Chain A
Amino acid sequence: MINVLATNITSPLGFTTEQNYQAVLSGSSALKRYEGLWGPAEPFAASLFSEEQRTALTIEGYTFFEALAIRSIREALTHTHLDLASERIVLILSTTKGNIEALGEERYYPSKAAQRIAEAIGLTTKPIVVCNACVSGLSAQLLANHLLSANVYDYAIAVGAEVQSKFIVSGFQSLKAVSEEPCRPFDIERNGLNPGEAAATIVFARNADGERWCLMDGATCNDAYHNVSPSPQGEGLTNAINAVLAGQDKSRLATVCVHGTATLYNDQMESKAIERANLSDIPLSALKGYYGHTMGAAGVLETILTMRATDDGIILPSKGFTEPGVSGKVSISGEPKKTDKRAFLKLMSGFGGCNVAAMYEKTKDYRQRTTGKAKLVKAHTIKLSSEDGQTLTDIYKQQIGDYPKFYKMDLLTRLAFVATEKVLSNFPLKGEDKKPALILFNHSSSIVADRQFFDTICDAENYFPSPSVFVYTLPNITTGEVAIRHHLCGETSFYILPDKDEALMQQILEASLAGTDTPTAISGWVDAESETCYECELTLYNIINI
């Protein structure tokens, strides 16, 4: 459990949390239809900054993505008095594609962008990038909770940011997931999501005085079902909600702020999970009708808005919703509602099969979570590299051979897949060990798949964005593939660091597993820069919670 010190939302609807809240309260939406933007992409509705706004937010020497994150953090920090140079503050950046427009340059690397942002703010510690596709914004907050609760840091700045581009839009269009009209979460007429751009920041503290919003607890559970289609019964999301609400009084919840992307499958799945978790009577709020899907920013932005509205005694209306179009029993409305409750649940689900639930409460009854410590015992380690003289395909053919899906995977996923096979061939998971955590780290994100996908969209005369390649441009798809192969239904996370900092990786792993009932974890470094330059070191750990 950690405290919220300050927040900011910087979006096309305003540059502060208050401006955004007032805009949403008055029913504003930044969603507009765009045609002919970014070359051959088909028409789409999106929430994008205007030229005027872009100019106002630009900071010379930084990309727009970096500037957006810096602006959001700086504004949030004006409400605090932190010693930014302290080694007890960490920056956690949540994004799906960061500086993707700089592919081919040094600043493409997400950790590079994070370092530039951290330095601009005046931080001196190494930033951590969370790349868990759509759930990243909640994952970043959960990581803040882990690291602060484990006393690794006193403060965490969780910033989510996304700038839209031809790369992202053409990818989601190739998946037939984008709507030309403003999106309609949970509605019978819904036909897809709208890309959105924004940055949002929450400054968390380990200890703070007074009555504040607190992140009480969170959980991440993988579907281990499919990398793009969610489990039809909402298996992972139901597990995540149940884990967070275990022992909690559900009647304290004012609302459940859903993911609600307005794709057919996501909203249907969420409705199932909500019904299965016995939350059918709690009013939902789906906020993508105001901002579209702001991807890496969404989990942070929607959490902040829900805090602000709950402070005001209001459950925000789900803009775009009129008639129910899901089969799970849910309470959702296009009209605002009053509430006197002080807690809510936030849900996110995304590609790679990951689902996150987190509970927030406004309280002055603040108790430091006593998580205990996780002791990690190495059971087995596997190292693979491009120097080995044996290709991954050779290893697959000689030692694995029973999973033709291997040939569909990108290089990064093949690397993690082969390494996991080798780790688990020596130490197979037992039945009761089926909820191990899978926590991977790298530096080069999904650069190989990013280059491959870029090749399918860069030539206007030969513009055929490949859906199967695009999927792998989210590095956490790697964790999803391994989860499917081994039916891993526990936490799956993908973090990007400036370098292979084993001490930091160990801290993140220990903090993430402390106080959980996770019996084992597979974790390590999985980095693929090219066919001739890759490196992987994966370890199977047994976990003893003390």
Chain B
Amino acid sequence: MEQLINDLKLQIKEALNLEELSLEEFDENAPLFGDEGIGLDSIDVLEIIVLLEKNYGIRLANPKDGRAIFQSVKTIAEYVQANRKK
């Protein structure tokens, strides 16, 4: 699980061009949206959906389903663990 969380942090940082966010600062429990956390927006969610399909074979057709999954890197990791196809 820890490996998966680290992989996801790296993949998200790269895919979303979070240049100024260091992996050390990237807290897997921090909320991904809103001013309190990482501050991602709706396009970022769509880019994470692409990333999950590309790297883990997970297809999420409706971004609305993603609200619970995309709370934090931790919740994404749990979802990937349970649903990954590769």
CB within 8 Å for A176 and B63 given contacts A407-B19, A468-B47? yes
| Residues of B with C-beta under 8 A to A467 | 43, 46-47, 50
B-facing mask of A463-479, CB < 8 A → 1, else 0? 01111100100000000
Contact residue among A226, A404, A408, A468 (Cβ-Cβ distance under 8 Å from B46): A468
Q: Is A174 an interface residue (CB 8 A)?
A: yes
Complexed CA–CA distance, A331 and B63 (Å): 30
Complexed CA–CA distance, A407 and B47 (Å): 15
Of the four ranges (under 10, 10 to 19, 20 to 34, 35 or more), the interface on chain A belongs to 10 to 19
Contact residue among A227, A464, A468 (Cβ-Cβ distance under 8 Å from B53): A464
CB within 8 Å for A465 and B17 given contacts A176-B62, A176-B63, A228-B43? no
B-facing mask of A487-500, CB < 8 A → 1, else 0? 00000000000000
| Residues of A with C-beta under 8 A to B50 | 174, 464-467
Give the distance to chain A from B13, nearest Cβ to Cβ, in Å.
10
Q: Is A175 an interface residue (CB 8 A)?
A: yes
- Contact assessment for B54 and A464 in the assembled complex, using a CB-CB cutoff below 8 Å: yes
Q: Is A507 an interface residue (CB 8 A)?
A: no
A-facing mask of B23-63, CB < 8 A → 1, else 0? 00000000000000000011110110010011000000011
| Residues of A with C-beta under 8 A to B44 | 468
Complexed CA–CA distance, A174 and B17 (Å): 18
Give the distance to chain B from A440, nearest Cβ to Cβ, in Å.
22
- Contact assessment for A226 and B62 in the assembled complex, using a CB-CB cutoff below 8 Å: no
| Residues of A with C-beta under 8 A to B62 | 176
| Residues of A with C-beta under 8 A to B54 | 464
| Residues of A with C-beta under 8 A to B18 | 404, 407
Complexed CA–CA distance, A467 and B49 (Å): 10
Complexed CA–CA distance, A466 and B46 (Å): 8
Give the distance to chain A from B56, nearest Cβ to Cβ, in Å.
12
| Residues of B with C-beta under 8 A to A226 | 41-42
Complexed CA–CA distance, A141 and B81 (Å): 53
Overall SS of chain A's interface: loop
Complexed CA–CA distance, A449 and B78 (Å): 34
B-facing mask of A445-474, CB < 8 A → 1, else 0? 000000000000000000011111001000
- Contact assessment for A175 and B46 in the assembled complex, using a CB-CB cutoff below 8 Å: yes
Q: Is B20 an interface residue (CB 8 A)?
A: yes
Q: Is A229 an interface residue (CB 8 A)?
A: yes
Contact residue among B16, B17, B46 (Cβ-Cβ distance under 8 Å from A176): B46
Which residue on A lies nearest to B51, using beta carbons?
A: A464
| Residues of B with C-beta under 8 A to A407 | 17-20
| Residues of A with C-beta under 8 A to B16 | 408, 468
A-facing mask of B57-74, CB < 8 A → 1, else 0? 000001100000000000
Give the distance to chain A from B74, nearest Cβ to Cβ, in Å.
23
Complexed CA–CA distance, A465 and B47 (Å): 9
Which residue on A lies nearest to B46, using beta carbons?
A: A467
Residues 206-235 of A contacting B (Cβ, < 8 Å): 226-229
Contact residue among B20, B42, B53, B63 (Cβ-Cβ distance under 8 Å from A404): B20
Give the distance to chain A from B15, nearest Cβ to Cβ, in Å.
8
Complexed CA–CA distance, A471 and B18 (Å): 17
| Residues of A with C-beta under 8 A to B43 | 175, 227-228, 467-468, 471
Which residue on B lies nearest to A175, using beta carbons?
A: B46
| Residues of B with C-beta under 8 A to A404 | 18-21
| Residues of B with C-beta under 8 A to A464 | 50, 53-54
Give the distance to chain B from A145, nearest Cβ to Cβ, in Å.
34
Complexed CA–CA distance, A228 and B17 (Å): 18
Give the distance to chain A from B71, nearest Cβ to Cβ, in Å.
19
- Contact assessment for A466 and B47 in the assembled complex, using a CB-CB cutoff below 8 Å: yes
Contact residue among A174, A229, A408 (Cβ-Cβ distance under 8 Å from B42): A229
Complexed CA–CA distance, A174 and B43 (Å): 10
| Residues of B with C-beta under 8 A to A471 | 43
Give the distance to chain A from B40, nearest Cβ to Cβ, in Å.
11
Complexed CA–CA distance, A175 and B43 (Å): 8
Residues 360-407 of A contacting B (Cβ, < 8 Å): 404, 407
| Residues of A with C-beta under 8 A to B21 | 404
- Contact assessment for B17 and A408 in the assembled complex, using a CB-CB cutoff below 8 Å: yes
Complexed CA–CA distance, A471 and B17 (Å): 15
B-facing mask of A220-253, CB < 8 A → 1, else 0? 0000001111000000000000000000000000
Q: A interface vs B, CB < 8 Å?
A: 174-176, 226-229, 404, 407-408, 464-468, 471
Which 10 pairs of residues, A with B, have the shortest CB-CB distance? Answer: A407-B19, A467-B46, A407-B17, A404-B20, A408-B17, A468-B47, A464-B54, A468-B43, A464-B50, A176-B63
Q: A175-B43, A404-B20 are in contact. List 11 more A-B contacts (CB 8 A).
A: A175-B46, A226-B41, A227-B43, A229-B41, A229-B42, A404-B21, A407-B20, A467-B43, A467-B46, A467-B47, A468-B43
21 A-B pairs, CB-CB below 8 angstroms?
Answer: A174-B46, A175-B43, A175-B46, A176-B63, A226-B41, A227-B43, A228-B42, A229-B42, A404-B18, A404-B20, A404-B21, A407-B19, A407-B20, A408-B16, A464-B54, A466-B47, A466-B50, A467-B47, A468-B16, A468-B46, A468-B47
